[in-house]
Amino acid sequence: MVQRVMTREESIEYLLGRSRRKDEVFPIRREFVQKSHIKSLPGDPSTGPGPLSKLLRTPHALELLLLVYAVTTGRDFGVTERSQLWARAAGIYMRPDKGASVAVSRQWEHLEKLGLIERRQHGRLKRIVKRHEIGRVGGMTVDYTVPTGTKSDVYFRVPFAYWREDWHVKLNMPGKAVLLAAMSRRKETFTLPQDGRGARALGLGRHTMARGIEELLHHKLLVKMGPDEVMDARAMRGWAWVHTYQLAEPFNINLSKAEVERLEAEERGPLAPQDGAGIQAGQPG
Identity at 38, one-letter amino acid code? I
Q: Using CB atoms within 10 A of its CB, is residue 139 exposed (0-12), middle (13-18) or buried (19+)?
A: exposed
With beta carbons less than 8 A apart as the criterion, state whether 116 and 135 touch: yes
What is the Cβ-side half-sphere exposure of residue 64, based on CA atoms within 13 angstroms? 33
Query: Could you tell me which of 25, 45, 42 has the C-alpha nearest to residue 195?
Result: 45
Beta-bridge partner residues of 49: 34
Identity at 1, one-letter amino acid code? M
Other Cβ atoms within 10 Å of 19 Cβ, number: 17
At CA 251, angle to CA 248 and CA 252, rounded to 5? Answer: 60
With beta carbons less than 8 A apart as the criterion, state whether 119 and 128 touch: yes
Stated as kind and residue range, the H or E segment containing 247 is strand 244-247
- How many residues belong to the chain? 285
Distance of CA 20 to the CA centre of its chain: 20
pLDDT tops 50 at residue 278: no
Whole-number Å distance between alpha carbons of 146 and 157: 13
What tens digit of pLDDT does each residue of 88-132 get?
999 998 888 888 899 999 999 999 999 999 999 999 999 999 999
Query: Could you tell me which of 83, 139, 150, 86 has the C-alpha nearest to residue 115?
Result: 139
Residue bearing the bigger pLDDT, 173 or 47: 173
Per-residue pLDDT band for 280 (boundaries 50, 70, 90) equals: very low
Q: What share of the chain is helix, strand, coil (3-state, %, to 5)?
A: 40, 20, 45
Q: Determine the longest span between alpha carbons in the chain, in angstroms.
A: 97
In degrees rounded to 5, what are phi and psi of residue 228?
Answer: -125, 155
Per-residue pLDDT band for 284 (boundaries 50, 70, 90) equals: very low
Q: What confidence score (pLDDT) does residue 162 get?
A: 98
What tens digit of pLDDT does each residue of 128-182 get?
999 999 999 888 999 999 999 998 999 999 999 999 999 999 999 999 999 999 9
Query: Could you tell me which of 204, 185, 186, 184 has the C-alpha nearest to residue 194?
Result: 204
